[in-house]
Amino acid sequence: MSSLNKEKNYILSRRLAWIIAVNLLAFAVLAARLYFLQVYEADKYKMLSDENRISTRFLLAPRGTIYDRNGDVIAKNDQNFQALIIAEQTPDINETLERFKQIVPLSEDEEKKVVSDIKNKRRFIPVKLKDNLSWDEVSAILLHAPDLPGVEITEGLSRKYPMSDLYAHVLGYVGPVSEADRKDNPLYMVPGFKIGKSGLERSMDYKLQGKSGTVKLEVNAYGRVMKEIERDPGEQGDSLTLTVDSRLQKAAYEAFGNHSGAAVVLDVRTGEILAMVSTPAFDPNLFTNGISYKQWNELLNNERSPLIDKAVSGQYSPGSTFKIVVALAALEAGIIDADTRFYCSGSTEIGNIRFHCWNHYGHGSLNVVKALKYSCDIFFYEAALRVGVDKIREMALKLGLGEVLNVGLDNEKGGLIPSKSWKKAKYGTQWAPGDSANTGIGQGYVLVTPMQLVTMLARVVNGGYAVTPTFIKPSKKDLEQIKRLKIARRHIELVKEGMYEVVNGAGGTAKKAKFNLDGVRMGGKTGTTQVRRISIKERRTGVIRDEYLPWKLRNHAWFMGFTPVDNPRYAVAVIVEHGSSGSGVAAPIASKILQEALKLDIK
Amino acid sequence: MTEFGLGRREQSWQEKLAQMSFLYIILIAVLAAIGTVTLYSAGNGDWNPWAVKHLSRFIAAFGVMMTLAFVETKYYYKSAYVFYFISLILLVLVEIGGHVGMGAQRWINFGIFKVQPSELMKIGIVLFLARYFSAATIQGIKSIRGIIIPAVFTLLPVALIAVEPDLGTALMVLCTASVILFAVGVQWWKFAAAIGAVAGILPIVWNFLHEYQKNRVLTFLDPERDPLGTGYHIIQSKIAFGSGGIFGKGFLHGTQTHLNFLPEKHTDFIFTMFSEEFGLIGSLSVLFINLIVLSLGYVFAFRVRNYFARLTIVGLNTNYFLYVFINMAMVMGVLPVVGVPLPLISYGGTVMFSIMASFGIILCMSVCYDERSD
């Protein structure tokens, strides 16, 4: 018995040693695992723990304010009130919603969205009830607050354009980030973030945006915010002062009446854009809070293209306004001088094709000044043929045509100044004398934008200084660096004299638009460009008068003008789409704008 | 020898008390205090809902422990089989009740208190086997026939617990019984054969499983297969451990737990919570205190000469070891999550009372010096 127990106890003790060894080993494994997790891999898990608990949210920076040259606000940020509902703070969500609807009506779609948002989101996450509340609505909600448990008002910022459609094409508009805009900027993913979608809002976006702030929040496993850890408020975007003058802008916009077209006014000494309009326009405020499908379609399908900025994107044949370029090219090349005369019989034969003057009775013999005054086509056919397209092109490019000017707007077009090689590459055919003739009167292949045309005019009338149009006031240094083009002053004086005669001379094409404000007068040049081709048959039977044609087929009307004649400061280019007549429609608009510019005390 | 042979008279309670390990009792109280403090934090710095209840349960269970420590050793010997069979019958009742109640059932309600028979069985199987092997001869132990009875009486409750289903407890009972069989001297090769047999059957069973059952088993073995379900718990637990670092985030400052990323922070995952707030220093300390408690148990097992007492201590100590090891290993991602709490620290009455009862029995056995058979 005792020996049996002794032996059993002996076996037990020996086996116990094994058991203890296994226990120790197991605890060693636990200790090693603890070391591995809490020391070796600690950094990794600390990061994961922070990722769990810290949620970084962006605080959207207010966009920079935009002012006109007089300091009037033309784009700003408005307080925008939103009503939110937090489901867990309201005992009966349906009842609260009903009561809210009695104060602020919700459309069926809005209500549907609210109900589905409440269902899909966690109960403590605020759901948007209604955006852009008016002051009255806000105060009504606050008054009924006791009946609306869980309803909160929050304040956001939304872009506001106080002059509504006046600056539609200059400023453009802001809108939510679309898939196409999305680069690698994480900010662009933030709901509510708006970027400039067109106009200066877009090209100056990098300055206007400012620096977004961040707020680090501690959240629990269900996403509820427990506390704020850190806040960086960010910085408001830089404000911007433009060169435009709202008074002039308004005058220009209103001068168009119901016409579709564009006008640009420059300060010829600096290139500052004092006004730029494109009509019809639209209200950019519509875009800030999401434009409705119907409104968008209306804008998109309007045959007068309100969304397109005709001042920089509209490319038109310059027509007779281009005669200034041709005249300067011919003068500079020495092909003609002040006294060179060509004879106009009303038409001429060029390479077996008959080319007509607009005045089929003919102008007789005339020099360059008279040719400009009467806008004689025959003179410029002749001049163009003699000087050649390459010299014309060279002059055109010097004066700012044929290339994008980069004023910072969307879809800015470069126009077209043809050359022999261009035609060969484009159509595979040789440059014909008829092409030169057409170029001579600004028809054919030549295309310019109103912005380019006014730049050309400014460079001529300021005495040949290569100013560039800009919305941002150039510095003194910028101004000193403006180059003088190699164009003889006497040649410039000749074309200026021609343009003076156009408006002020007896029988000038724009004599109806002339004005005399205390001796200050306007010079300029008309242009009427065909939209359709006039057939030989029609020539024979008599050209159909424009007013009998449908709007879309009527001629475009141009006028470019400058004032004062002696010491020019303002230049304007006006295009009236299908306006029929440069002298009859475009010139009076330009005249009104320039008179307004003179009356204003533009600093 | 069939009687519980006593060489001498039973000692008086004063004599027993004088011989008991105060260190053992103090360390148990320290662990319960750590549990209370951690539950205070789990309640977001509040005594409610867990900490105060935990502490009062411990005080009650402490009474149970001390009472059991002074019961005469021979009564454990005498009642061993009865206790086992009562536990077994309750397990069967639970099984029937579970079927009636259409669901997993682990409890029997006695009105004023509930009993979890599987917890009783953890002690019952130890007493049963300790008594059985006290009476066995060496030849009996080493023969095949000699281990058929203990094997049957082990597998019966294991199977009942496993179908509850409570796989964790079933495996713990099986392991405890296996360790006792090992301790009494059952040959190594028999364990090897048993393991070999199980390993041989498993692939066959595996082939019979449906795809969804296989997936369930695989996810059980590797929770990170399912990062949003079971895997989520273990991933968050590891983050809590790791982010605690060496010094911890500080009392009441565990972000993983206080922000609810960690599930079951007051029960199975309490060690995670403690380790997040107190770091490696805290977690190693708890591990170390448990090691001392276990080691003291083994010291008792060496010191005592009575075979029944020694075997009982080994069995109960093994049971405690399994609790601690499985719980810590599972929250650290070493073992699959099987739902085993950390005794004295996790919130929960059943485990508190059953583990304190087993500490009481160990204490009782630890002063059973002169109960040698000479």
Ordered mean pLDDT values, 10 residues apiece, chain A (603 residues): 78 95 97 96 92 81 91 89 82 86 84 82 77 85 84 82 91 80 65 81 89 83 80 88 94 90 93 93 83 85 89 91 92 89 89 84 89 90 90 92 89 90 89 88 91 94 92 91 90 91 85 86 88 65 70 83 92 88 83 91 80
| pLDDT tens sequence across A401-460 | 999 999 888 889 999 999 988 999 988 888 888 888 889 888 889 999 999 999 999 999
What's the burial of A213, exposed, middle or buried (CB within 10 Å: 0-12/13-18/19+)? middle
In which order are the strands placed within the sheet that holds A213-219? Answer: A54-59, A213-219, A225-232
Tell me the three state secondary structure of residue A541: helix
The neighbour count for residue A84, using CB atoms within 10 Å, is 15
pLDDT of residue A543: 66
Q: DSSP code of A167?
A: G
pLDDT of residue B347: 95
> Residue A3 in contact with residue B374, Cβ under 8 Å?
no
Strands A66-67 and A240-241: parallel
- The C-alpha of A278 sits at a distance from chain B's nearest C-alpha, in angstroms, of 58
- The C-alpha of B112 sits at a distance from chain A's nearest C-alpha, in angstroms, of 37
Q: List the single residue in B256, B321, B329 with the smallest CB-CB distance to A49.
A: B256
Assess B185–A contact: CB distance below 8 Å, yes or no: yes
> Residue A150 in contact with residue A85, Cβ under 8 Å?
yes
The neighbour count for residue A31, using CB atoms within 10 Å, is 17
A91 Cβ neighbours under 8 A, 6+ residues apart = A149
pLDDT of residue B3: 44
Q: Per the CB < 8 Å rule, is B310 touching A9?
A: yes
- The C-alpha of A192 sits at a distance from chain B's nearest C-alpha, in angstroms, of 28
With a pLDDT cut of 90, the percent of chain A lying above it is 36
CA A392, CA A412: separation in Å to the nearest integer? 23
Q: How far is CA B74 from CA B78, B131, B365, in A?
A: 6, 11, 10
Tell me the three state secondary structure of residue A211: strand
Using alpha carbons, select from B22, B79, B130, B129 the residue that is nearest to residue B367: B22
> Phi, psi (5° rounding) for residue A34?
-60, -45
| pLDDT tens sequence across A549-581 | 777 778 888 999 998 998 999 999 999 988 777
With a pLDDT cut of 70, the percent of chain A lying above it is 94
Any idea how long chain B is?
A: 374
Q: Per the CB < 8 Å rule, is A15 touching B182?
A: yes
Tell me the two tokens of residue A225.
């915010």
Cβ-Cβ contacts under 8 Å between A and B: the total is 142
Distance of CA B222 to the CA centre of its chain: 24
pLDDT of residue B1: 37
pLDDT of residue B374: 32
CA A278, CA A32: separation in Å to the nearest integer? 76
- Side-chain half-sphere CA neighbours of A462 within 13 A: 25
Q: DSSP code of A532?
A: S
Q: List the single residue in B236, B246, B334 with the smallest CB-CB distance to A33.
A: B334
> Phi, psi (5° rounding) for residue A175?
-160, 175
Longest Cα–Cα distance of chain B, Å, equals 63
CA B238, CA B242: separation in Å to the nearest integer? 6
Q: How far is CA B60 from CA B56, B352, B355, in A?
A: 6, 10, 13
> Residue B59 in contact with residue B36, Cβ under 8 Å?
no
The residue with tokens 């001392």 is B292
pLDDT of residue A181: 67
CA A296, CA A555: separation in Å to the nearest integer? 29
**Which regions in chain B score pLDDT beneath 50?**
1-6, 101-103, 371-374
CATH of A246-286+303-599, one of 3.40.50.261, 3.40.710.10, 3.30.1550.10, 3.40.50.1820: 3.40.710.10
Q: What's the fold here for domain A57-241?
A: Penicillin-binding protein 2a (Domain 2) (3.90.1310)
Assess B313–A contact: CB distance below 8 Å, yes or no: no
Q: List the single residue in A35, A46, A53 with the smallest CB-CB distance to B280.
A: A35
The residue with tokens 């006008």 is A263
> In a mutagenesis test of the A interface, which of B129, B172, B259 is the best target, namely the one with the most A β-carbons within 10 Å?
B259
Residue of A nearest to B284 (CA): A31
| pLDDT tens sequence across A112-134 | 888 888 887 777 777 878 877 88
> Phi, psi (5° rounding) for residue B264?
50, 40
Tell me the three state secondary structure of residue A400: coil
Using alpha carbons, select from B96, B161, B75 the residue that is nearest to residue B122: B161
Residue of B nearest to A20 (CA): B298
CA B227, CA A277: separation in Å to the nearest integer? 60
> Residue B239 in contact with residue B261, Cβ under 8 Å?
yes
| pLDDT tens sequence across A335-375 | 898 888 999 988 888 888 888 888 888 888 999 998 998 88
pLDDT of residue A4: 73
Assess B187–A contact: CB distance below 8 Å, yes or no: no
Rg, chain B, Cα only: 21
- The C-alpha of A243 sits at a distance from chain B's nearest C-alpha, in angstroms, of 55
A45: chain B residues, CB-CB within 8 Å: 238-243
Helix spans in chain B (H): 13-19, 22-42, 51-69, 73-100, 117-135, 138-142, 144-162, 167-184, 188-208, 211-221, 230-244, 255-258, 270-303, 307-331, 349-366
pLDDT of residue B372: 43
CA B66, CA B61: separation in Å to the nearest integer? 9
Cα dihedral across residues A156, A161, A162, A165: positive or negative: negative
> In a mutagenesis test of the B interface, which of A18, A24, A25, A38 is the best target, namely the one with the most B β-carbons within 10 Å?
A38
CA A281, CA A261: separation in Å to the nearest integer? 10
Using alpha carbons, select from A274, A341, A282 the residue that is nearest to residue A310: A282
Give the DSSP H or E segment for A495: helix A489-504
Tell me the two tokens of residue B200.
């041989």
Tell me the three state secondary structure of residue A218: strand
CA B213, CA A94: separation in Å to the nearest integer? 44
Q: List the single residue in B238, B243, B305 with the smallest CB-CB distance to A9.
A: B305
CA B24, CA B365: separation in Å to the nearest integer? 13
pLDDT of residue B99: 52
| Domain edges within chain A | 57-241, 246-286+303-599
Q: DSSP code of A582?
A: I
Ranges assigned E (strand) in A422-554: 523-529
Using alpha carbons, select from A81, A57, A52 the residue that is nearest to residue A190: A57
Q: DSSP code of B165?
A: T
